[in-house]
Amino acid sequence: MDMNRIRSKLADELEMPDNVMTNNFDIRIQGNRRVIIENHVGVLIYEHDIIHIKTKIHNVIIKGDKLKIGEITDFYIIVNGVINEIQIRE
């Protein structure tokens, strides 16, 4: 059993969000106008039609029109615009 799975089980037992103790990320989609990604580690590509965000394990690629980073902190990033596609890659 890998460490990420052990941490996930521990988070469940302690009733804590999974991404607090693991390398997992949270993604929330609000319609086709906003995406919120928690537990990111940085932005790899930032253009008006594509934003590529790195997490500890996966990469999140957001494609659309008039994409902008609305807010970015050490913990989360908010992408606004017309979102057409979201890809998650290892």
- Give the β-pairing of 34-38 and 40-46: unpaired
Beta bridge partners, 65, equal 82
Q: Following CA atoms 8, 10, 12, 13 in sequence, which dihedral angle do they give, to the nearest 10 degrees?
A: 170
Farthest-apart Cα atoms in the chain, separation:
43
What's the predicted TM-score (pTM) here? 0.76
With bands split at pLDDT 50, 70 and 90, how would you rate the model's confidence at 14? low
pLDDT tens-digit readout, 34-71: 999 998 999 999 999 999 999 988 999 999 999 999 99
Q: How high is the pLDDT of residue 17?
A: 54
**Domain range annotation of the chain:** 23-89
CATH level 3 topology of 23-89: Immunoglobulin-like (2.60.40)
Does the pLDDT of residue 10 top 70, yes or no? no
Q: What pLDDT is stored for residue 56 in this prediction?
A: 87
